[in-house]
A and B are shown apart, each in its own frame.
Chain A
Amino acid sequence: MIAALVLTASLNGTVVIGSKMDVEGQVLGELFAQVIEATGEATVERRFAMGGTAIVFAALDSGAIDLFPEYSGTLAHVVLRDPTASDFDDIKRRTEARGYLVGPALGFNNTYGLGLKRETARRLGVTRVSELVRHAGLRAGFSPEFFAGAFGWPAVQRRYGLTAEARSMDHVIAYTAMAEGEIDLTDVYTTDAVIAQQDLVVLEDDQHVFSRYEGLALAKADFATRFPKSWAALQVLAGQLTDEKMIELNGRAQLRREPASIIARDVLVGFSLGVHQPVPATRPSTERRWWALTVEHLSLVGVSLLASLLVGLPLGILAARRRWLRQLVVGAAGVLQTVPAIALLCFLIPAFGVGRGAALAALFLYGLLPIVRGVVTGVESIDPALLEVATVLGLPPLQRLVRIELPLASVAILNGVQLSAVTGVGTATIAALIGAGGYGSLIITGLSLNDLSLVMAGAAPSAVMALAMSLGLDLVTRFVVPRGLRARQ
């Protein structure tokens, strides 16, 4: 199936470009997109803000995306598993030996740093990381990958002998927490425009713990043969983006809210990219109108709910008849429910690709348990005397099911559907992490821009939709549940 996807993509001449959640990744992804579009070799599908490193790698390896912006230091840790690798050419050679294609070094080094408020730095009298040893009671909030990754906090602790009290939290939330005075110290990306905006001090890494994280384009090995012009054109970007330039571009995206398409177009002005001019920029997801997101969100929930119902109903009926099957199904669905959505999405990418496919599969699986449980509860709660009468009256099994059992179980079944729908609306926001759209894309963009009003703009309609779903299904219940059973609700 994956091979088929790759084949289709190449026949159609479409390059799928992904990116992680951060703003820089989206700007770089858009830059790659416009360079490739300018060659006229392929159309470009943008799958930006797909979540973390694990998700984009899963997407690349499965062929769901063709290209995404990455960093040399990440390749050293994730692909080579060799934290000592630091030379770009060495990392490129060894990564390509593993079936990847490493694009040009774009010119900037977006490494990690430890940042704190200027006044805190002044008060403590620190300019270098090693000086933190004198201040044991510091509170730190680190992004999850920095907190746990061998290259990050563990390495800093070991090398510098630091003992700060550290917690793992979203990168953007850490900035907010620092502004609120909840934490003293966080990890920063050195090309992050927020450093200047929030007047943070980045401490000098005087023991050289942090690797270099040079921006680059990462593809699978066959990309250059599938899209030779595109790959050649991307080399134009080599060395074009200095640290200062990248900070400026990030600032335009993050602080001034300029669409990545405009930023990328400005960068490419003056580049010789062949006969084609850069195509007019597509509108970035942040500006998509809310109804488009509503349709996306609703269709994610609707389609997955329908699938859950189509599978869950017969499965529940069988489970109500066979004890072993009931234990198996309810047990398995229960275990599935405990798998965090983001992890489940990650597992499903190889089979379903990135975007809607994996998101629908995950929502379908989550939606199954409440429905199966509703059906089992409903069927099992039917008065056995009534079922006996149905048998005595000579109703064949199918008629007994359709005319007696399902109507009598309808209240419990609809309760299950309702639960499944309402939780589905909430879970669907996470699908935006793998580029499946919906209200979650506002939440993610809001998080990456440190814009809580944007987060709210995604969260509020999602809550309203859940409520509307619930009320809508109450209404359906009135029509579907037979008159004689309604009083029992």
Chain B
Amino acid sequence: MAGIELEHVDVSFGSTGVLSQVTLSLEAGKTHVLLGPSGCGKSTVLRVLLGLVTPTRGAVRLAGEAVSTLSRATIAARVGYVVQSGGLFPHLTVRQNVALAGQALDRSLAHPVEALCAQVGLGAELLERIPAELSGGQRQRVALARALALDAPVLLLDEPLGAVDPLLRAELQDELRALFRRTAKTVLFVTHDLAEAAFFADTITVMNAGRVEQHGPTNEVLAAPATPFVSRFLSSQRALHRVGP
């Protein structure tokens, strides 16, 4: 069954169109990557799925249920969300940040905070620290632990490693991929980095200017770009990553 579905979704702010006729059906339990240049509408897709943005037209469904019919509490229980900046509350400790959603909704956490943090590689000694006392990588781990706290079946990540330095980034990529496979969540991962996309993705969706250019299994998209834009986008990134002749 499709974990995430968008059908002919249009989004516009005033007279500016942001998404146009976006249709996607993403299989549950797999890792899907949204790939595209900045401003192409990738983040808006996530915001539509979170019910933060209401489409002008079209249908949005999580596990078969229309997002527009779900309460905020239900969405919070079904979708975990990580943003590039981490989105940690600066006045709360690691423990408080991770436990916040459970307290707010009066639900018990999937696992104790210690276990949630251990799952993303955070030691217990960090639990009483505030975000300002953590490294960039540690902050993203906390954000991930928070997104996993209610054991939501869907995980949305908006360039979660965008602000992490390259060495650490490779390490986190490994850990994340292991985590995605282990937990069997429906992951939608937004990035503009082709190598990262290829590393994670079961399927890749390439977007440009609010439209889906191509969607398909990773190998298929990489091997056979469907449009001139996809071809150009892929080759520009390959050039960046190619080492040697």
User: Does A associate with B in a complex?
Assistant: yes
**Chain A residues at the B interface, C-beta cutoff of 8 Å:** 385-386, 388-396, 399, 403-404, 407-408, 482-485, 487
- Give the docked Cα–Cα distance between A408 and B88 (Å): 12
- Look across to chain B and name the residue whose beta carbon is closest to the beta carbon of A397: B72
B52 within 8 A of A: yes
Given A392-B79, A394-B73, A487-B132, also A385-B101 (CB < 8 A): no
Give min CB distance, B240 to chain A, whole Å. 28
Contact (Cβ within 8 A) A393 B104: yes
Complex CA–CA separation, A394 to B77 (angstroms): 8
Contacts of A389 in B (CB 8 A): 81, 83, 87, 89
- Whether A408 pairs with B91 at a CB distance below 8 angstroms is yes
Does B131 have its Cβ within 8 Å of any Cβ on chain A? yes
- State the CA gap A372–B101 with chains docked (Å): 30
Q: A394-B72, A394-B76, A483-B91 are in contact. List 5 more A-B contacts (CB 8 A).
A: A390-B89, A393-B146, A394-B101, A395-B104, A483-B130
Chain B residues contacting A391 (CB-CB under 8 Å) are 52, 72
Question: Shortest distance in angstroms between B228's beta carbon and chain A's nearest beta carbon?
Answer: 34
Select which of A388, A395, A399, A484 is within 8 A of B130 by beta carbon: A484
Query: A392-B76, A394-B75 in contact; A385/B130 too (CB < 8 A)?
Result: no
* Dominant SS among interface residues on chain A: helix
Shortest Cβ gap from B98 to chain A (Å): 11
Contacts of A399 in B (CB 8 A): 104
Whole-angstrom CA separation of A404 from B203 in the bound complex: 37
A391–B146 alpha-carbon span in the complex (Å) = 14
A403 contact set on B, CB distance < 8 A: 100, 104
5 A-B contacts (beta carbon < 8 Å): A392-B79, A394-B75, A407-B91, A408-B89, A485-B91
Whether B178 sits at the interface, judged by CB under 8 Å, is no
Residues of A within 8 A of B123 (CB): none
Q: Which one of A396, A404, A483, A485 has the greatest number of beta carbons of chain B within 10 Å?
A: A483
Q: In the complex, what residues of A have CB within 8 A of residue B216's CB?
A: none
Q: Establish whether residues B90 and A484, one from each chain, have CB atoms under 8 Å apart when the complex forms.
A: yes
The range of chain B's interface size is 20 to 34
Residues of A close to B146: CB separation below 8 A:
393
Of chain B, the residue at the smallest CB distance from A395 is B104
Asked if B50 is an interface residue, CB under 8 A from chain A, the answer is yes
Does B124 count as interface, using CB distance less than 8 angstroms? no
Whether A394 and B87, one on each chain, are in contact in the complex, defined by CB atoms closer than 8 angstroms, is no
- Which of chain B's residues have a CB closer than 8 A to the CB of A483? 91, 130
Residues of B within 8 A of A390 (CB): 89
CA distance in complex: A438, B178 (Å) = 71
Which residue from chain B places its CB closest to the CB of A487 in the assembled complex?
Answer: B132
Leading 6 A-B pairs by shortest Cβ distance: A394-B76, A482-B91, A389-B87, A484-B130, A484-B90, A393-B101
For window 70-111 of chain B, which residues contact chain A by CB distance below 8 Å?
Answer: 72-73, 75-77, 79, 81, 83, 85, 87, 89-92, 100-101, 104-105
Measured CB to CB, the nearest residue on chain A to B96 is A403
How far, in whole Å, are A389 and B143 apart by their CA atoms in the complex? 10
A386 contact from B52, B77, B89, B130, Cβ within 8 A:
B89
Chain A residue at smallest Cβ distance from B104: A395
8 Å CB interface, B128-148 against A: 130-132, 146
| Chain A residue nearest to B100 in the complex (CB) | A393
Known: A388-B52, A483-B130. A394 touches B105 (CB 8 A): yes
Q: Which residue on chain A has the smallest CB distance to residue B80?
A: A392
**Complex Cα distance A391/B75, Å?**
10
Name the distance in Å between B143's Cβ and chain A's nearest Cβ: 9
Return the chain B residue nearest A488 by Cβ: B90
- A391 CA to B81 CA, complexed, in Å: 11
Inter-chain contacts of A485 with B (CB < 8 A): 90-91
> Smallest distance from the beta carbon of A366 to chain B beta carbons, Å?
31
Neighbouring B residues of A388 by C-beta, 8 Å: 52, 87
- Structural contact, A385 and B87, CB atoms closer than 8 A: yes
- A161–B194 CA distance with the chains assembled, in angstroms: 94
Contacts of A484 in B (CB 8 A): 89-92, 130-132
* B-chain residues with CB within 8 Å of residue A404 when the two chains form the complex: 89
A-side contacts of B90, CB under 8 Å: 408, 482, 484-485
| Contact of A392 with B75 in the complex, beta carbons under 8 Å | yes
> Once the chains are docked, how many angstroms separate the CA of A41 from the CA of B105?
68
Contacts of B73 in A (CB 8 A): 394
Q: Measured between alpha carbons, how far is A308 from B81 in the docked complex, in Å?
A: 40
